[in-house]
Amino acid sequence: MKYEKGREIDVFGNFPAAPKQGAVSLDFDGNGNLIYIGLAIPGTPQYIPAWQIRKLTYDGSGNLLTITWADGSRSFNYVWDNRASLTYE
């Protein structure tokens, strides 16, 4: 999957809990860097606690530094709309 900076990212990853087809929500910072990735079953509203959420962090040059998970968990039990207030490990 490509996002607006033309970079490519595998949003489904290589882990058993990932749906092979699903809803994907993306959120970008003011510089166009992808900062949140959310995965859920297709049709899941963003206010329902059924999302898996990752946060990406970058250095000052825009290089990807880390990918962390909401509460350090790969579970599909988070609310996408609350992504900015969650703790990431």
For residue range 21-77, list pLDDT tens digits in order.
678 899 999 888 899 999 998 889 999 999 999 999 999 888 889 999 999 999 999
* 6 domain residue, yes or no: no
Total structural domains in the chain? 1
Q: Looking at residue 62, what is its pLDDT?
A: 85
Q: Looking at residue 52, what is its pLDDT?
A: 94
* 11 domain residue, yes or no: no
Q: Does the pTM of the predicted model rise above 0.85?
A: no
Identify the residue with better confidence: 24 or 3: 24
DSSP 20-55: SS-EEEEEE-TTS-EEEEEEESTT--TTSS-BEEEE
* 32 domain residue, yes or no: yes
* 5 domain residue, yes or no: no
